[in-house]
Amino acid sequence: MTEDRTIISQARNGNPRAQQKLYSTYKGLWYSICLRYMNERDDALDSLQNGMVKIYSNLNQFDDTKGSFKSWSAKIMVNECIMYQRKYWKPQHKDNVDLELVDSPFESDVFSSLGVKELTKMIQTLPVGYKLVFNMYAIEGYSHKEISDKLGVSVGTSKSQLFKAKKLLQNKLKAQDNIDQVMYSQHISQ
């Protein structure tokens, strides 16, 4: 933590080595956030670059008494990705959502066997609205009300998008599991 404080202080003063050290330390985290929100590598890189500009230009606003640099910078990356996606996503406002379906239980253990790369790849395949809400709710910890406010959709739409994202991911996992079982069976029979 003391090393981070020193590096951040130097980076605030425009020291290029300190800025490079921050980049080297956190680029993996920042890029993985961008990949979760974007379908295309170029979009993820654009968001990464835009987020880094915001991080470096707002270093004076970082207060280590309120949290870690890691969390602060990750939140900036998430917000940058959300803003990027909002430019292109046109949500369909549906207030007549069957909320009984939306609030149905979800098997969170389904994802525990996946690695970060596999989960990221699956999340990338989701439609934009599903992906935004899933990332914001399941990974970033936003409430449906916060998602509603940030994305300009109803709470029901947020819940519906989350429900549909989870169902789609569960179906992808089941399909993947079936493929793995077939491949295993074929390997054993050879």
pLDDT-derived band at 179 (thresholds 50, 70, 90) equals low
The segment(s) of the chain belonging to CATH 1.10.10.10 are: 91-190
DSSP letters spanning 40-69:
SHHHHHHHHHHHHHHHHHTGGG--TTSS-H
* 91-190 belongs to CATH 2.60.40.10: no
pLDDT-derived band at 122 (thresholds 50, 70, 90) equals confident
R_g of the chain, CA atoms, integer Å? 19
Span of 5-9, 54-58, 61-65, 182-186 with lowest mean pLDDT:
182-186
The CATH architecture to which 1-88 belongs is Orthogonal Bundle (1.10)
- Angstrom distance (rounded) from CA 35 to CA 166: 18
The arithmetic mean of pLDDT across residues 120-142, rounded, is 90
Cβ atoms of 179 and 190 within 8 Å: the answer is no
Q: What is the dihedral of CA 64, 68, 70, 72, to 10 degrees?
A: -70
The segment(s) of the chain belonging to CATH 1.10.1740.10 are: 1-88
Q: What is the pLDDT of residues 150-175, one digit of tens each?
A: 888 899 999 999 999 999 998 888 88
- Angstrom distance (rounded) from CA 149 to CA 86: 12
pLDDT-derived band at 180 (thresholds 50, 70, 90) equals low
pLDDT over 70, % of the chain: 76
Local structure of 115: helix, strand or coil? coil
DSSP count for the chain of H helices, then E strands: 9, 0
Displacement of CA 151 from its chain's centroid (Å): 15
